[in-house]
């Protein structure tokens, strides 16, 4: 790109980080399917290892296809630099391990991804790095939860699967006063709907497996932050733990990204229509959707999200068995975990994604046994509605 001025998201998502003229004019970025890179001389090798000359060394330390993806995601999240990983959890673990030492404390939003919870438990058991949860509803509540040992505030918003929101600007302001970095898992929004760095947060993580890939065929993760932080992660937890992404998977993400804005618009449009349908249905008890103006989350959604997203959770009038037979009645909608794919997916958090969370904690997080989570896909919303309708009729 010749000029950097005010390029819109929809353009960056297609062009950023790739210059075709450096690659024989290939319209599409090439896949550098190589493990290592040849030095022109022993001295060049020495300089590259010493960091005195830019250039690739070995694909665990960097790869041209992967670098294109990293530059693109950094631009989309308005960050200085980025790193790609072999999974969302490789990204989460690389960040949290890089940030903490024995005795430190991590303050988390009220709900976090199940395996992130598992990682924090492990870090506590093995390395005495403790964690707590806070609803972060007000400044006062957040200030009260911060300890002298707190080195990181870790937030997911919307929170999975209850779709509760955290006010990122408020959290960033409090954290700044205290000198504590804020890490946001932005998976549920994708960079199209929410940009935590622009709201004052420090680090953004994505499970790129979800909306960024968008086609259900890759497991991958991304981290965006300052040059200083990203280079620290690159030189420590990424290099030495080694959860890197393959060049082919990076290429698939560059491919998926091109349609992100278009896909998200359709995901959001379909979701709003289905949420309105479910809100009216007599067999539906409660709908959790940030775009519902009757919902207390609505104002925060308006403030920090471009649109309310592609996820809905809802409870049926009944119990676990009602929820399960409803799922079994569905025909077009598929029963599966994960989200952000073209296919509409439904899952039952109490027995699937959050089965590891003890029943009592699940209750505290608002995860009822009849709660269902729907990742609204790109099919015709009328076909989705008809499928929900016939499945609801049968219960
Ligand atoms: C899926 C997910 C992860 C983990 O990502 P993987 O790519 O499966 O390792 C982390 N956070 C959130 C919010 C997720 O949905």
Which residues of the chain does CATH 3.90.1150.10 include? Answer: 261-393
CATH architecture of 261-393: Alpha-Beta Complex (3.90)
User: Model's pTM, two decimal places?
Assistant: 0.96
Residue 1 has pLDDT above 70, yes or no: no
What interhelical angle do 88-99 and 114-127 show, nearest 10? 30
The best mutation among 85, 115, 196 to test binding of ligand 1, ranked by most ligand atoms within 8 Å of the C-beta, falls on 115
Residues 216 and 338 sit within 8 Å (Cβ to Cβ) = yes
Catalytic position from the list 210, 263, 307, 373? 210
Residue 2 has pLDDT above 60, yes or no: no
CA atoms within 13 A on the CB side of 308: 27
Whether 111 lines ligand 1, by a CB cut-off of 6 Å, is no
User: Nearest 5°: CA angle at 170, between 80 and 10?
Assistant: 40
Per-residue model confidence as pLDDT tens digits over 336-389: 999 999 999 999 999 999 988 888 888 888 899 999 999 999 999 999 999 999
Residue 245 has pLDDT above 80, yes or no: yes
Read off φ and ψ for residue 95, nearest 5 degrees. -70, -50
Q: For the structural domain made of 9-257, what CATH number should be given?
A: 3.40.640.10
Which residues of the chain does CATH 3.40.640.10 include? Answer: 9-257
Q: Rounded to the nearest whole angstrom, what is the distance from the C-alpha of residue 275 to the centroid of ligand 1?
A: 24
Whether 109 lines ligand 1, by a CB cut-off of 6 Å, is no
- What SS3 class is residue 278? helix
């Amino acid at each position: 790109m010749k000029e950097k001025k005010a390029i819109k998201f929809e353009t960056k998502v297609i062009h950023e980080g790739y210059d075709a003229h450096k690659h024989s004019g290939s319209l599409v970025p090439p896949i550098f399917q190589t493990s290592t890179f040849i030095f022109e001389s022993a001295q060049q090798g020495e300089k590259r290892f010493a960091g005195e000359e830019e250039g690739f060394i070995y694909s665990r330390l960097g790869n041209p296809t992967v670098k294109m993806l990293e530059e693109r995601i950094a631009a989309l999240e308005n960050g200085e630099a980025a790193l790609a990983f072999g999974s969302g959890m490789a990204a989460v673990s690389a960040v949290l391990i890089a940030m903490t030492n024995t005795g430190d404390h991590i303050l988390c939003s009220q709900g976090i991804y199940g395996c992130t919870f598992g990682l924090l438990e492990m870090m506590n058991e093995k390395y005495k790095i403790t964690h707590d949860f806070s609803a972060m509803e007000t400044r006062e509540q957040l200030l009260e939860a911060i300890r002298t040992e707190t080195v990181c505030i870790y937030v997911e918003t919307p929170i999975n699967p209850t779709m509760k929101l955290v006010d990122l600007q408020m959290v960033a302001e409090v954290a700044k006063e205290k000198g504590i970095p804020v890490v946001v898992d932005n998976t549920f929004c994708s960079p199209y709907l929410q940009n935590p760095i622009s709201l004052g947060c420090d680090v953004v993580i994505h499970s790129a497996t979800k909306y960024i890939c968008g086609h259900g065929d890759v497991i991958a993760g991304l981290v965006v932050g300052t040059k200083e932080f990203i280079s620290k992660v690159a030189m420590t937890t990424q290099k030495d733990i080694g959860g890197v992404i393959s060049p082919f998977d990076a290429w698939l993400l560059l491919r998926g990204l091109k349609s992100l804005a278009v896909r998200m618009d359709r995901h959001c449009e379909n979701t709003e229509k289905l949420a309105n349908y479910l809100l009216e249905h007599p067999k539906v008890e409660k709908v959790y959707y940030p775009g519902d103006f009757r919902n207390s989350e609505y104002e925060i959604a308006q403030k920090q999200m471009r649109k309310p997203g592609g996820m809905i959770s809802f409870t049926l009038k009944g119990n676990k068995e009602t929820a399960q037979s409803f799922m079994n009645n569905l025909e077009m909608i598929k029963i599966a975990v994960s989200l952000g794919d073209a296919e509409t997916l439904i899952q039952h958090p109490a027995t699937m994604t959050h089965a590891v969370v003890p029943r009592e904690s699940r209750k505290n997080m608002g995860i009822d046994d009849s709660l269902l989570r729907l990742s609204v896909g790109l099919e015709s919303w009328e076909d989705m509605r008809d499928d929900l309708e016939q499945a609801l009729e049968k219960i």
